[in-house]
């Protein structure tokens, strides 16, 4: 308690310049995120709720693409959840990506029951992108909905996901809203539930208002077939983030449908979480700094200010703070000693808790799911985890990717497929 009292006293005693000197990194990197979150709430309620309700206008045929590897425990639940949707006018196309379990036999049974229209099986695993490309070629729809086999949905999720496509022909794709289903299982899942609320529900609401949605989650998104075919389908190495950037560069408008809610399970242990995020962060590094590095350069022939915005946002508020954070900690301990630096870090944590709390409440309001307020006791843990674990882990992922290109050996995509990626 004495440490907290000292930290509170320190916060109250600092002059404006002293406060900026000691907490400059927080002010320049983290604080803008929090203020954006509050703005996102305003955007959601003032701008985004002025959308049409009622039955959807006539739509072309819709195909739901399901591609999975060893999904025997999940795929039937996903299909039955889809068949309970308020919108029924779709076919389901399933591709078994080289599973070694009963996934394909379950697909055949679901097809015999009339719940699935088309199925295929790859004898050798080709990766999710390759399986989805096959499903797209099998599909008859003019709109594709891509989701994961382990997802479930709110009853109106498909209807809300399709609504922007029905109302605006210039929209090429729509990202759904992803929430954590297993948030009660552990502290790790609770932290991720808060993260998804803030980064997806809140963050993409604001990104959508600024036309800056740069990633349609592979867990739940809709695409016009014409846009999919024009891009040649998904790249076998980049998947959702890469495909979204390609669509944006081709001139398609990307929307976020925050009322189209999909639930997914997240890793339940810290080790599983960090392993997942290693892959995500390394892929982000490759895609942003290798495949699309030209988007940072205003002198490049293909440079566009609208695309540079999300690139520079990532660089200034995600990549560089992660790289600088260890040096910032080193400066604190060298300047103020162990006791002084610890007091300062506690003070920073207290200040950031207020911001985290405001963003969490805003995200809950934007999402319209008050049951997630039960996560409130985990907000302090979320903030500490993001600062002292994820920042260091992000630095590790970027450094190892820059030096050793570890994503090239990631077995999430089979080696025979990775070797075909000439952009790597």
What residues in the chain have per-residue pLDDT under 70? 1-54, 237-238, 415-424
Tally of structural domains, the chain: 1
Supply the CATH number for residue 248's domain.
3.90.550.10
pLDDT at 286: 87
Provide the domain limits for residue 71: 62-270
CB atoms within 10 A of CB 151: 22
Of the chain, the percentage scoring pLDDT greater than 70 comes to: 84
pLDDT at 53: 63
Q: Strand 143-147 relative to strand 220-224: parallel, antiparallel, unpaired? A: antiparallel
pLDDT at 44: 56
Q: Is 102 part of any domain? A: yes
Q: Is 147 part of any domain? A: yes
Distance CA 102, CA 123 (A): 13
CA distances from 247 to 31, 242, 359 (A): 31, 9, 30
Q: Is 378 part of any domain? A: no
Asked if residues 180 and 192 have their Cβ atoms less than 8 Å apart, the reply is yes
Residue 257, sorted as left (phi over 0), alpha (psi -120 to 50) or beta, turns out to be beta
pTM of the predicted model, to two decimals? 0.90
Q: Is 244 part of any domain? A: yes
Q: Is 286 part of any domain? A: no
In this structure, the chain runs to a length of 424
Q: pLDDT tens across 276-290, in order?
A: 999 999 988 988 988
Q: Is 84 part of any domain? A: yes
Asked if residues 150 and 71 have their Cβ atoms less than 8 Å apart, the reply is yes
Q: Is 364 part of any domain? A: no
Q: pLDDT tens across 369-403, in order?
A: 889 999 999 999 999 999 889 989 999 999 999 88
Phi/psi at 423 (5° precision): -75, -15
CA distances from 258 to 33, 200, 202, 294 (A): 19, 9, 9, 31
pLDDT at 346: 80
Q: pLDDT tens across 189-236, in order?
A: 999 999 999 989 888 888 887 889 999 999 999 999 999 999 999 987
Q: Is 398 part of any domain? A: no
Distance CA 223, CA 244 (A): 10
CA distances from 268 to 15, 17, 272 (A): 43, 43, 7
């Amino acid at each position: 308690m004495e440490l907290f009292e000292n930290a509170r006293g320190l916060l109250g005693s600092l002059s404006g310049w002293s406060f900026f000197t000691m907490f400059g990194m927080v002010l320049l990197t983290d604080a803008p995120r929090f203020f954006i979150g509050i703005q996102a709430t305003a955007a959601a309620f003032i701008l985004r709720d002025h959308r049409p309700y009622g039955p959807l206008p006539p739509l072309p045929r819709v195909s739901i693409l399901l591609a999975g590897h060893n999904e025997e425990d999940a795929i039937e639940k996903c299909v039955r959840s889809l068949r309970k949707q308020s919108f029924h006018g779709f076919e389901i196309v399933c591709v078994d990506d080289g599973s070694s379990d009963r996934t394909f036999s379950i697909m055949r049974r679901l097809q015999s029951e009339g719940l699935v229209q088309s199925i295929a099986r790859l004898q050798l695993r080709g990766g999710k992108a390759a399986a989805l490309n096959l499903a797209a070629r099998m599909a008859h729809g003019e709109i594709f909905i891509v989701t994961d086999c382990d997802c479930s949905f709110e009853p109106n999720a498909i209807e809300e996901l399709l609504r922007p496509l029905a109302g605006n022909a210039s929209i090429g794709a729509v990202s759904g809203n992803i929430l954590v289903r297993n948030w009660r299982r552990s502290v790790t899942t609770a932290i991720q539930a808060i993260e998804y609320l803030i980064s997806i529900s809140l963050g993409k609401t604001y990104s959508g208002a600024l036309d800056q949605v740069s990633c349609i989650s592979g867990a739940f998104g809709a695409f016009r077939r014409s846009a999919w075919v024009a891009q040649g389908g998904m790249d076998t190495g980049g998947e959702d983030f890469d495909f979204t950037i390609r669509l944006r560069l081709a001139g398609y408008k990307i929307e976020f449908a925050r009322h189209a809610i999909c639930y997914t399970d997240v890793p339940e242990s810290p080790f599983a979480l960090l392993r997942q995020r290693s892959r995500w962060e390394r892929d982000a590094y490759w895609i942003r700094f290798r495949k699309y590095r030209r988007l940072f350069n205003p002198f490049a022939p293909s440079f566009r200010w609208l695309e540079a915005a999300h690139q520079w946002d990532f660089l200034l508020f995600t990549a560089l703070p992660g790289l600088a954070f260890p040096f910032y900690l080193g400066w604190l301990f060298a300047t103020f000693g162990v006791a002084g630096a610890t007091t300062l870090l506690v003070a920073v944590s207290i200040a950031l808790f207020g911001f985290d709390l405001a963003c969490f409440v805003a995200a809950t309001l934007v999402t319209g799911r008050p049951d997630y307020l039960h996560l409130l006791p985990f907000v302090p843990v979320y903030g500490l985890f993001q600062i002292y674990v994820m920042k260091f882990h992000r630095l590790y992922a970027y450094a190892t990717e820059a030096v050793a290109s570890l994503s090239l050996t990631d077995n999430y995509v089979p080696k025979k497929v990775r070797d075909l990626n000439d952009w790597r």
